[in-house]
Structure 1
Amino acid sequence: MWDSESESLGGREYGNGAHVSAKHGVKTDGFEQRGQSWYVATDVPSDFLVQISEVNFHLHKYPLISRCGRLSRIIYDTHEGDLNKINLDDLPGGPDSFELAAKFCYGIAVDLTAGNISGLRCAAEYLEMTEDLEEGNLIFKTEAFLSYVVLSSWRDSIIVLKSCEKLSPWAENLQIVRRCSESIAWKACANPKGIRWNYTGRPSKVSSPSWNDLKDSSPSRAIQVPPDWWFEDVSILRIDHFVRVITAIKVKGMRFELIGASIMQYASKWIPGLIKDGGGEAMLDDLSNGNISRESNGSSSGSGSGSWKGGLHLIVAGKEEPEAIKAKDQRMIIESLISIIPPQKDSVSCSFLLRLLRMANKLKVAPALVTELEKRVGMQFEQATLSDLLIPSYSKSDTTYDVDLVQRLLEHFLVQEQTECVSSPNRSYMEKNMFEESQRGGASSAKMRVARLVDSYLTEIARDRNLSLTKFHVLAEALPESARTCDDGLYRAIDSYLKAHPALSEHERKRLCRVMDCQKLSIDACMHAAQNERLPLRVVVQVLFSEQVKISNAIANNTLKDNTAVESQFQPMVSTRKTLLEGTPQSFQEGWSSAKKDINTLKFELETVKSKYVELQNDMETLQRQFDKIVAKPKQHSSSAWTSGWKKLSRLAKMNNMDSQDDGSDQPVAEQTRKTPRRWRNSIS
């Protein structure tokens, strides 16, 4: 840096301070302060008193009205006769700025610095010290200093913009804030080696390189300036000025990840408790490009800005930490930060967004901004952690955590995934491939990572006795079935809910367990479920059956493979089956043995029914033969209705006898082609 950049705020002089000759009739050696009053060191008694707050200035009319159009108009246009006293409490800059302006009117040399230029410029505008009264008046001199000295320096631009916080709206109307913001933005986006830069995060023992050293050094010995060198300087600004600077930086084309990191740095400094101790610096450095690094002794997070001594922050703010901020101011800061976060997906971390969302709900931020922040979280929901999702419920809900908020975040994530699938036709094919890879142990997709996160969240909130079954059920079923390749996490959450809610009815427990797919449980989960007394009996049977199906399919696959090999290759199949059976829970083996006994009993009863049916059929044939002998006798002269009924029964019996011998019988073809009666006997089988 240049030598002028490293001097203190109060002792820096540029050699071109505003100075005029004492040609206005009052010769003086300067001003004298006596308590809360200022006096002009001259033999001429004062005839005009200016009061600003509690400070009194005993001055003379003529030097003031010769250069201050406002005072001249007030003095000459008054209707009170000889005015000798005036109150200027609304003068921007206060007594300090008026003291400098009064000295200028008396021809005393005034040293213009970055610390007093903004207040003096606003005071000159207020007093109407224009060129119409005298050439080279104070407005002209302060404007020249701002344009040619302040705006060319990074450090001075930051100091002037910081000093404008107490000069609203004068600093805004005079374009001081806009010009300083654009100057800072231009220097932040430019190569720091090409401007007079000031990296305040650097330890005080390490001197900043001068411009000549940077210009003349060889590439191999050049000092590498970190890309976030401007973060700490910008973070000392008030939120409205910070927004102006970031907006101007966006227009200049700064990378979005750097803008996001600067926003996180600002939030960590001005919102207490937003970032955990020890984790803020790591989060600020966790950017998608991976090439932003902070020196271990040079960076500062929300609670670590006191690790370095000196620097611009101490000069301007006068303290290492900002004062405790009221809830109203914190709400304004959060609303402003939400509005300037870059729209790109990875501009800030998901953890930062969730912590910002937590503070937004706590401080009752505008609902529209909260909804916008929830959508931003949904864009990168797969990056969230369980601790970030455990957001307390600040509404009138009985639950400990805000379950409805997580439900909305999950819905935003699914909508974003669906939108990306529609906008990218190849995405569905890629999702399918990722699912197949995950089945083989490959990388997991975003939905699968979110599924594991939701299962962990469900396990945590299931311990809340006030959590309704409907909320738990809706959140568990929000994700599609393809998002979970294993339901162990979901089973763990269900078991935790059953443990915390023992008064659930059988119907409610069955409804709760429907969200789980028993076929996606691992061996350990099945072993636990088979012995879990809290689960409904039907679910336990489903778990045992699904595990038996897995074992049967495995054995069938091994058998199919081994049938194509030589006989000596059957031994591995036996060992594989033995291994599968040994790996099966003992409770499952006992359940399967009981099921096999029931099946054998049913088979035995079926065989008994078949044998009885055969016996009845034989008895029918015996009766038929006896009937045939009876009808073979000479017919009576007159037949009765009883005889005709027996004839019909005889024909029917013969038809049934022919049908029973239909397979493999030696009867003539003509008899087989007779009209077949209704096979009513089949109904009993």
Structure 2
Amino acid sequence: MNRIIYETSRELDPTIVVELNDLPGGSEAFELAAKFCYGIAVDLTAANIAGLRCAAEYLEMTEDLEEGNLIFKTEAFLSYVVLSSWRDSIVVLKSSEGLSPWAENLQIVRRCSESIAWKACANPRGIRWAYAGRRSRSNSPKWAAAGSAGSGSGDPRDSPVPADWWFEDVSLLRIDHFVRVVTAIKVKGMRHELIGAAIMHYAAKWLPGLAKDVGSGAADELSTVTAGGGGLHMIVAGSGVGGGGMGGGARDEWTGAAAREQRMVIESLISIIPTQRDSVTCGFLLRLLRLASMMKVAPALVTELEKRVGMQLEQASLTDLLIPAYYGKSETMFDVELVQRLVEHFLVQEQSPERERSPAMELQKHAGSGGGGGGGTNAKMKVARLIDSYLTEVARDRNLSLTKFQVLAEALPDSARSCDDGLYRAVDSYLKAHPTLTEHERKRLCRVMDCQKLSIDACMHAAQNERLPLRVVVQVLFSEQVKISNAIATSTLKDGSGGGGAGGADSHSYQMPVISSRKQLLEGTPLSFQEGWAAAKKDINTLKFELESMKAKYLELQNDMDTLQRQFDKMSATTVAAAAVAGKSGKHSSSAWSSGWRKLSKLTKIAGPEGQEAGEQFPAAGGEAAGRKGPRRWRNSIS
């Protein structure tokens, strides 16, 4: 003080005014320091010790001037009283928010953070100190199902202490101090699931809108904390700079300072999320990613967050995946490119050997139905269903380009989908929202789905869908007929193996619904497609009739040849004497018969290949029926 007054008196001003604007702790700390100098008793508490320790350092109240000075006494109180108490460590760390950089330089923040970390990592069964003990209102971890210990009267050992007992108290700290505490807890070796749950609890308190069931805000949470009864003393002594830390995040007005504060919270939380899989839920990561996109968080942190989402994308829900496109990055309503990157990160993680050996994947493999297929296949199928639902939603956006839709639909391999009904719904939604697509674009769009993977309900809908190209409808009908044929063949094989009349009855009862469904499928075909089918059917019937006619002629000629052959054999068996008696008339008859035989053989060689080809394609029963209707000219002429 003498030095400050001496430097101020050089200005030759009769009125000397000394201003200590940079005194840490403000007027309250200076008043306590002045009382200490004049021998007045000063009550040291957790609420004023941090400010008083910094003020003593500022005022140079060291042992060089007098033994037992203020620095020594405040340091001893911090070391032996505050750091041994859970509640006092929280209060001191909270009161140090407005004392930067003094609290950092004097190691107050570091020592309090380590003290809190040691106590948080302690065995809950051995906890004997008081804590807030209120249940988390959002993102409550599964291991916190046990009842919370009472923070008032009674032995703490009478009621079980949950593993998340420290969440509520630590979540009251400012983000930088919370990061220091979580970092220290990581070093102590706490489970990553518990650390992730603490981060989710903190984010639900300080990030508005992150959790669906979050309360009225952090400021209201702080106002409910009262002194005594094992709670926290929230008496903050400081110069007023910083104004209570995170209070600005709960203001009604959204200012630039509040936006920067929110951005800092998001970036800090992303940086301290444990690297292990399933440390936090995928829904939390996606909601955090939504806020990160909205607040323009650093691109490197956003990329890291996207990779984390890709590690457990199969756990996501459609609601969390519908992330809007902020700040004009895209003309679409939702950020489709972001989802595309998430799928790419998921596929990369699926191919990594670390994921295949992870305990979570081993549990999925053992829990899979029938033991068939690995956990990776199940994860891909879940992601495929999720992406199909996402495509159905975003397809209604008229600004969504065909290329983006196609790229996202084809991002997953074919093995990820056992049924393409979801893709068909997405394609149909896109066709509804984009009626101006050309025929080429519609064909290109329909290539993303496999008609052979559609169910019978989807096939019936597709057969009546006039928005689909004609080629796709034909493929759908053909694939459905192939399925019906295979089903009938399979049923016939099963009935044949069973044997007996009962098998025939079962076959009849099985085939009837299939034939009925096929008939209903064909009758439901639109009128515009029925005309094309009628013309094609007419051509097919004409060709079939011509082939049957040719076959009938061939069969008729073959019968005539057989008859003549029998006559020839009979004549060769006659005696030589009968041939001599015949004389000249016999010679004339034999000559006529030989001429007819040669003529018939010549005609047979011409019609033989065509008739044989027709006979291989159709059964003989139809040919005989047609043969009876044919002309009998050759037989009469030969006779």
User: TM-score range, shorter-chain basis?
Assistant: 0.7 to 0.9
Shift of 1:557: 1.1
| 1:573 aligned partner, one-letter code | S
Contact 2:394–2:400 under 8 Å retained in 1: yes
1:494 to 427, 448, 454: 427
1:33 matched residue in structure 2: none
Gaps of at least 5 residues in structure 1 are 1-70, 282-299, 616-652, 662-685
What's the offset of the Cα at 1:102? 0.9
Q: Retained in 2: the 8 A contact 1:399–1:464?
A: yes
Question: What amino acid does structure 1 have at the position aligned with 2:276?
Answer: Q
Match of 2:490 among 553, 557, 560: 557
The match for 2:301 is 369
Contact 1:519 1:547 in 2 (8 A): yes
Identify the residue that residue 399 of structure 2 maps to in structure 1.
466
Q: 1:184: how far off?
A: 0.6
Q: Which has the higher helix share?
A: 2
Is 2:263 aligned against 1:331? yes
Structure 2 CA distance, aligned partners of 1:495 and 1:110? Answer: 78
1:395 positional shift = 3.8
202, 207, 213: which one pairs with 2:155?
213
AA at the equivalent of 1:528: H
Tell me, yes or no, if the aligned pair for 2:175 and 2:265 is still in contact at 8 Å: yes
485-494 or 82-91, which deviates more: 82-91
* In structure 1, C-alpha distance between the alignment counterparts of 2:433 and 2:363, rounded to whole Å: 41
Query: Separation in 1 of the partners of 2:363 and 2:522?
Result: 39
Are 1:393 and 2:325 an aligned pair?
yes
- Shift of residue 88, structure 1, vs aligned partner: 1.4
Deviation readout 1:72-95 (Å, 9 max, x if unpaired): 444567772999542211111111
Corresponding residue of 1:167: 99
Question: 2-side partners of 1:438 and 1:535: how far apart?
Answer: 39
Measured against aligned partners, the alpha-carbon deviations of 1:133-192 in whole angstroms (never above 9, x if no partner) come to 100000000000000111111111011001111110000000000000000111111134
Provide Cα deviations, 1:171-225, integer angstroms capped at 9, x if missing partner.
Answer: 000000000000011111113443423125279x996255x824xx6xxxx2111
| Length-normalised TM-score, structure 1 | 0.69
- Is contact 1:306-1:320 (8 Å) kept? no
- Tell me the distance in 2 between the aligned counterparts of 1:128 and 1:344: 48
Q: Which residue is 1:153 aligned to?
A: 85
Structure 2 distance, partners of 1:521, 1:605, is 37
Contact conserved, 2:172 with 2:222, CA < 8 A, in 1?
no
Going from structure 1 to structure 2, the CA distance change for 1:372 and 1:207 (only over 3 Å counts) comes to closer
Instruction: Return closer, same or farther for 1:577/1:303 CA change in 2, 3 Å cut-off.
Output: farther
Work out whether 1:97 is the aligned partner of 2:40. Answer: no
Give the 3 Å change call, closer, same or farther, for CA 570–425 of structure 1 in structure 2.
Answer: farther
Which position in structure 2 is the counterpart of 1:49?
A: none
Cα pair 2:263 2:297 within 8 Å, conserved: yes
Q: Quick one: distance in 1 between partners of 2:197 and 2:485? A: 56
Residues 236 and 303 of structure 1: CA distance in aligned 2, closer, same or farther (over 3 Å): closer
Q: 1:98 to 1:345 in 2, by over 3 A?
A: same
Equivalent in 220, 226, 239 of residue 310 of structure 1: 226
Q: Determine if the alignment matches structure 1 residue 80 to structure 2 residue 5.
A: no
Matched, 1:350 2:282: yes
Residue 573 of structure 1 corresponds to: 507
CA gap of 1:370–1:352, structure 2 versus 1, over 3 A, is same
Deviation, 1:603, is 2.5
User: What is the match of residue 202 of structure 2?
Assistant: 266
Match of 1:232 in 2: 168
> Quick one: which amino acid aligns to residue 383 of structure 2?
V
Q: Name the CA distance, whole Å, in 2 between partners of 1:194 and 1:206.
A: 10
**Cα 1:309–1:88 shift into 2, 3 Å:** closer
Q: Considering Cα pairs closer than 8 Å and 6+ residues apart, tell me whether 1 or 2 has the greater RCO.
A: 2
CA offsets 1:357-394 (integer angstroms, 9 cap, x no match): 01101110000000000000001101111110111101
Q: CA deviation at 1:541?
A: 1.0
- Tell me how far apart the structure 2 counterparts of residues 519 and 172 of structure 1 sit (CA, whole Å): 67
Contact conserved, 2:33 with 2:56, CA < 8 A, in 1? yes
Q: Unmatched 5+ residue regions in structure 2?
A: 137-147, 237-243, 252-256, 557-600, 610-639
Q: How well do the aligned residues superpose, as a CA RMSD in angstroms? A: 3.9
- Residues 526 and 547 in structure 1, CA contact (< 8 A), matched pair in contact too: yes
Match of 1:605 in 2: 546
- Give 1:672's aligned residue: none
User: Identity across aligned pairs (percent)?
Assistant: 67
Q: Per the alignment, in what secondary structure is the counterpart of residue 396 of structure 2? A: coil
How far apart are residue 316 of structure 1 and its match? Answer: 4.7
CA contact (8 A) 1:421 1:428 kept: no
Within 1, Cα distance between the matches of 2:185 and 2:408? Answer: 41
Cα offset for 1:660? 7.9
8 A contact 1:434–1:445 mirrored in 2? no
Aligned length: 526
Q: Report the alpha carbon displacement of residue 523 of structure 1 after superposing the two structures with TM.
A: 1.5
Structure 1 residue aligned with 2:339: 406
How far the C-alpha of 1:598 sits from its partner, in A, is 5.0
Alignment-derived partner of residue 614 in structure 2: none
Q: CA deviation at 1:304?
A: 8.1
Partner SS, residue 479 of structure 1: coil
Q: Which is worse superposed, 518-527 or 420-429? A: 420-429
Residue 545 in 1 paired to residue 478 in 2?
A: yes
